[in-house]
Amino acid sequence: MRTLITGASSGLGEGMAREFAVRGHELALVARRTERLESLAAELSARPGSAQVVTAALDVTDDAAVARVFPEVAGKLGGLDRVIVNAGIGDGRKVGSGQPQANLRTARTNFVAAIAQAEAAMELFRSQGSGHLVLITSVAADRGLRGAQTVYAAAKAGLSTFAEGLRADVHGTGIVVTEIAPGYIRTDLNEGMSMPFGVDAPTGVRAMVEAIERRPAHAYAPRWPWSLLGPALRVMPMPLVRALT
């Protein structure tokens, strides 16, 4: 299996790279921070029996770079079987608090840039007649949230709807589209945040990878308790949503 992961230099992307490497995947790892990326690639390549690992610098908000880098790394691996659109940020602010650039940056990275990545991946998959596109959303996509999470939740909800539209478009073909909605997973990127039902990074990443391997249309990770709480969020009274988030 030849798998490309964006945002692979840290957090969930780095964790998924390690987990897929253990499973023998050939990997294309892309991110902005090339020093961390190269260090990770060297570590994974040094393992006995490791599969090929290639890397490339990529800012996913640079549409032209995305369109160039995806086919480049695919060429190095002889093709791609799976693309995981994982790169994202959680840099939002309360709307109207005088920090619009943080919210615009969050929306562009988590939604607009994800569309550019999906465009590049789907062009490759359509040309070869098969492929697995994985979009990483969030349980936050299930409900509008307050404060600093408002734009983040809206962007992930948009990405969730985008995933559903893509599934409808490729139905009956050799292309599979999967949405993975992580719950609260503790990484160095969200240290200090309030995270009810949060799990450590290895547990959360393992749940994500196991879900990806099943190729579902949609999966929460970890499955418990989010397979119950996620749908429940959609119908909860707003005062209760505010209390939980």
DSSP string, 53-105: EEEEE--TT-HHHHHHHHHHHHHHHTS-SEEEE---------TTSS-HHHHHH
In the annotation, is 152 catalytic?
yes
Q: pTM of the entire structure?
A: 0.94
> Among 152, 184, 220, 226, which one carries the catalytic annotation?
152
CATH number, domain at 213? Answer: 3.40.50.720
For residue 88, the enclosing domain spans: 2-244
| Alpha-carbon gap, residue 28 to 26, rounded angstroms | 7
pLDDT tens for the chain, residues 1 to 245: 999 999 999 999 999 999 999 999 999 999 998 999 999 999 999 888 788 999 999 999 999 999 999 999 999 999 999 999 999 998 889 999 999 999 999 999 999 999 999 999 999 999 999 999 999 999 999 988 888 889 999 999 999 999 999 999 999 999 999 999 999 898 766 555 556 777 889 999 999 999 999 999 999 999 999 998 888 888 878 887 777 66
- State how many domains the chain has: 1
